[in-house]
Amino acid sequence: MLVDTANWQWRGRRWAHLVSDVSFEELHDFARLLGKRRLGFQGDHYDVDQDERLRAVSLGAEPVDSRELVGRLRHAGLRRRNAKPSWQRLGYAGPGTSLEVSSRLVTFGEPGMRLREALRFAEGLDRLSRSALYVDEVYLVALFDWVGPAASLNLPMLDQAWAGEPRVDGERSLELFVARELAADNRVEPRRGS
Residue-wise pLDDT tens digits, 95-147: 888 877 777 788 888 988 888 887 776 666 777 788 899 998 888 988 888 87
Residue 61's contacts (CB-CB under 8 Å, 6 or more residues apart) are: 1, 2, 3, 18, 30
**For the chain, domain boundaries:** 2-75, 88-190
Band the pLDDT of 165: cuts 50, 70, 90: low
Please state the pTM of the whole predicted model.
0.76
Q: How far apart are CA 140 and CA 69, in angstroms?
A: 31
Mean pLDDT of the chain: 82
Q: How far apart are CA 155 and CA 3, in angstroms?
A: 35
